[in-house]
Amino acid sequence: MSKITAAITAVGGYVPEYVLTNQILETMVDTNDEWIVTRTGIKERRILKEEGKGTSYLAIQAAKDLLEKSNTDPKDIDMVILATATPDMPVAVTGVYVASQIGAVNAFSYDLVAACSSFLFGMSTAAKYIESGRYKKVLLIGADKMSSIIDYEDRATCIIFGDGGGAVLFEPNEEGMGVQDEFLRTDGVGRPHLKIDAGGSILPASAETVANKQHYVFQDGRTVFKFAVSNMADVSEKIMSRNGLTGEDVHWLVPHQANKRIIDATASRMNLPEEKVMMNIHKYGNTTSATLPLCLNDYEKQLKKGDNIVFAAFGGGFTWGSLYLKWAYNSN
C-alpha cells in the first residue's frame, strides 16, 4: 500500500466589505499613500465593522465558501482547526463555535496559535492527522480580526493589518500529492519585538492597562523586518535544496503577506520570477493567519495538479517556516 499523503482538495475565503484605503488612513494618522505603498506594497485593507462580530464570523464565512464551492457535507468533516491570533474571547475555544455554526457536528476542534505563522503551523498539524490514517477530512481555517487589537492612532501598525479569513480542506491522497516536506522554526528572542503587553496572564486587564493602551499590538518594525527577511528566505532556500528543487521546478511561492519587500527578498533568494509569487497584500494588507489561504483562494483557478508549491511565513514569537506541497487538482 502506498503511503498516505495529505492533500489540499478545496479552498475558500472571505474578506469583509468595508475597504480602509491609504487615503482614509491619511486622515487618521500622520502618513501618506506614497510611504505606505513603497515601504509595504499595501494600498487598502478590509475591516470587519459590524459590532458583535469577531474572528469566528470571518472563519465561518470562509468555511461556508469552501463547503459550497466543493459541495462538501459538513457532517463528513472529522476535525476543524482554527489558526488565529485573535480568538473571539479567552477560554471558550473559537474553533469549536465555528465548527458548530457550519454544521460540522461530527468534528472535534481546537484553536492553534502561532502569530503570523499560525496557518503554516496548522498545515503541518492538519497533515499529520491525515497521514496517521485516522482522519479523512480535516478543515483548516485561518482567520483574524486584526482591527480588534490595532491602535488606529499608531501609524507604525495601523497601516499594515487587515481582517480576513481563508480555509482549506485536507484529505488523504494515494498519488503522492499534498504535503511533501516542512521546516518549522521558533525562537523566543522575538518576544519583546512583537507583542501585546496586557490582557494575558502576566498583566491582566485593568483600568490602568486600558488607559495605557496596552491591549494593542506593539511592533518594533525594523527588528522584525530584519529577522523576517533573512529567516523566511533561509527556510525557503533550505526546503528547496533538501528536496532537490531549483527555481525552475517551483511553480508557486505562497508567502505570508506582511510586507512586499520581505516577499521580494524571499522570491529573489529562491530564483523565482514575479509571475510565480502569489501576492494580494495590496488589497488585503497583513491578515495574519488568513494570508496564505486567501492567496490560494485568489489564485486557485491558475493552479494545476502536480504544481510544486512552497509556502513560507514569519511571525511573532518569533515563529517561522516553510512547507513544500504538491497541488492535487485542476479547478473547473
Task: Give the three cell numbers for residue 250.
Answer: 517551483
DSSP 34: H
Cα 239 from Cα 40, distance rounded (Å): 26
Per CB under 6 A, which region of 14-22, 97-105, 141-149, 224-232 contacts ligand UT7?
A: 224-232
Q: Which residue has the cell 468534528?
A: 107
Catalytic annotation, pick one of 116, 259, 280, 297: 116
**Sign (positive/negative) of CA torsion 235, 122, 115, 309?**
positive
Least gap, CB of 294 to ligand UT7 (angstroms): 14
Q: Which stretch binds ligand UT7 (CB under 6 A): 62-70, 170-178, 202-210, 256-264?
A: 256-264
What is the footprint of ligand UT7 within residues 32-51 (CB under 6 A)? Answer: 35, 39-40
- 32 in catalytic set: no
Nearer of residues 72 and 322 to ligand UT7, judged by Cβ:
322
Q: How far is the CB of 286 from ligand UT7 (least distance, A)?
A: 5
- CA torsion, ordered 100, 103, 106, 110, to nearest 10 deg: -40
**The three cell numbers locating residue 299:** 489564485
Is 215 a known active-site residue? no
Do the strands 138-145 and 194-195 form a parallel or antiparallel pair, or are they unpaired? unpaired
Catalytic residue among 173, 259, 280, 286: 286
Name the one range near ligand UT7 by CB under 6 A: 16-24, 65-73, 137-145, 223-231. Answer: 223-231
- CB of 64 closer than 8 Å to CB of 102: yes
**Binding of residue 156 to ligand UT7 (CB under 6 A):** yes
User: Nearer to ligand UT7 by C-beta: 67 or 277?
Assistant: 277
- With DSSP H G I counted as helix, E B as strand and the rest as coil, what are the percentages for the chain, rounded to 5? 40, 25, 35
Nearest distance in Å: CB 159, ligand UT7 = 5
Number of chain positions touching ligand UT7 (CB under 6 A): 20
To ligand UT7, the closest distance from the beta carbon of 242 in angstroms equals 25
Return the closest-CA partner of residue 105 out of 127, 78, 86, 85: 78
**Residue 321 in the binding site for ligand UT7 (CB under 6 A):** no
Q: Alpha-carbon distance 146 to 148, whole Å?
A: 5
- Residue number with CB closer to ligand UT7 (57 or 314): 314
CB atoms inside a 10 Å sphere around CB 269: 17
Give the span between the Cα atoms of 41 and 309, in whole angstroms. 23
Active site (catalytic) residues: 116, 256, 286
Residues in contact with ligand UT7 by the rule CB under 6 A:
31, 35, 39-40, 116, 155-156, 159-160, 221-222, 224-225, 228, 258-259, 262, 286, 314-315
